[in-house]
Structure 1
C-alpha cells in the first residue's frame, strides 16, 4: 500500500507532531482539568483564527489549477464563512463570551504568527504548499479528537470539554480529515521528488510547531 503524503510528512516531523497532538492543553481537556480561563482565551483566538483561515481558502481558490481544485477550495471557504463562524460564536456564548467582545478582540501573537505563516506559504508557493501548511490544523484536530475520545471519562457528561472532543472525534469530522489527506495526494500527484518533499516537510514542521504554540498560548495566559 502506498503511504500517503500526510503520513510521510508526519514521519518526517515525528517529535514536533507528538508535542502538538499530546500537548498539555489537550491532555487536560480529556480529564477536565484545563482551567476555564485558558479555554476561553483559546475560543476567542480560534474565532480570529477562522477569519484568517477563510482568507487562506480564498487564496486556495485563486491558486487552484483546475475548476475541481477551485471548487474544493470554495467549499472550504463557504463552510467557514457560512457555518463555522456563526456556530463558533454560539459556542463562545455557552462559555459566557459575548459575540461583540469576541469580534472586537485582538489577535494574540501565536494567532498572528500561525495564520500569516499559512497565508505566506500560499502566496510564495503553490496550492500544495498552502494545503500542507493547513494540514496540521485540519487533519491534526481529527487526530487529537480521535485519541482524546479513547481516554476514559473524556466524553463523560461531567467533563466540560466533552463537546469539543465529541465534535472532533465525530464521524463527520473524521471523514473531513480523510478527505483532506486524500486531497493532499491528489494535489501532489507524481510531482513530489526528494527536493520537493524536503521543502514540504519543512513547511509542515513549522506549521506543526505553530499549532503547538497556539495551544500553549492559552496556558500562558493563566
Structure 2
C-alpha cells in the first residue's frame, strides 16, 4: 500500500463530503449564485498567495536539488497557471486584481493559511508536503468528478472554465507528479512519522471542507 493510499484512507470520509457539498454540486450543474462564487474567488485568490509561501518554505527546507525544484515548480504553477483562471473570472466580475490583494481574509481562510504556515515553519519538508497536498489533490479529485458526472450541463455552464482547469490533463499530471513524489520521499517512514503526516493531512482536509462551507455561506466578513 502506497503512502498516499494511507493518506487518502485516513481522510476519505471528509473527501466524500466535498463531492456532496452544495457549493460543488451547484458548480457542477451551473446553478451556484454568482455572488457567492465571486466571494469564493476573492478568498481563494488570497489563499493562493499564502499557499505559495508554504511551497517556498519547502524550497528552504529541502536538501536536494530534485526536492528544491519540486517545490519551486509547484509555487511557479500556482502563481502563473492556477491564478490565471481566478483572474479571468474576477475581471469578468469587474474586480481590480491589485485591489483584491488588499481585501481582508475571512477568518476561515486566515485560520487555514495560518495552520499551513505554522507547519511550514516548525516542520520538515515532509510535513510541508502533508499540509499542502490536500488542496491540490482534492481540487483534481473534485474537478474530474464534476467533468465525469455533470457533462450534461457543460455547454451553458458559467463555471465550465473552473471545472476544465481542475479536470485538465495538465492539472492531473501536476497532481500525479506530487503523488509520486510523496510516495518516493515517504517510503521509509517510521510508524510515528507516518501517523503524524496522516494527522496533518487530515486536518488540512478538514480545513478544505471548512473553506467550502465558508464559500457556500457567501456572507460578508464576520469581523473588520
TM-score surpassing 0.5?
Answer: yes
Where in structure 2 are the equivalents of 1:121-140 lying within 5 Å?
A: 121-140=119-138
Q: Name the SS for the 1:106 alignment partner.
A: coil
Aligned 8 A contact 1:136 1:211 in 2: yes
Distance 1:150 1:125 in 2: 37
Q: Deviations over 1:103-150 (max 9, x none)?
A: 221111111111111111122211111111111111111110001111
Match of 1:207 in 2: 204
Match of 1:194 in 2: 191
Q: 1:94 aligns with which of 92, 95, 108?
A: 92
Distance 2:71 2:149 in 1: 34
TM-score (norm 2): 0.91
Q: 1:85 to 1:162 in 2, by over 3 A?
A: closer
Aligned 8 A contact 2:90 2:97 in 1: yes
* CA positional deviation for 1:221: 2.1
TM-score (norm 1): 0.91
Q: 1:151 aligns with which of 129, 149, 152?
A: 149
Count of residues in Structure 1 that have an aligned counterpart in Structure 2: 219
Unaligned runs of 5+ in 2: 220-224
> Cα RMSD over matched residues?
1.7
Q: 1:107 aligns with which of 100, 105, 108?
A: 105
Q: Deviations over 1:64-117 (max 9, x none)?
A: 021111121111222333444455323311233222331221111111111111
Unaligned runs of 5+ in 1: none
Q: 1:155 to 1:142 in 2, by over 3 A?
A: farther
Aligned 8 A contact 2:130 2:201 in 1: yes
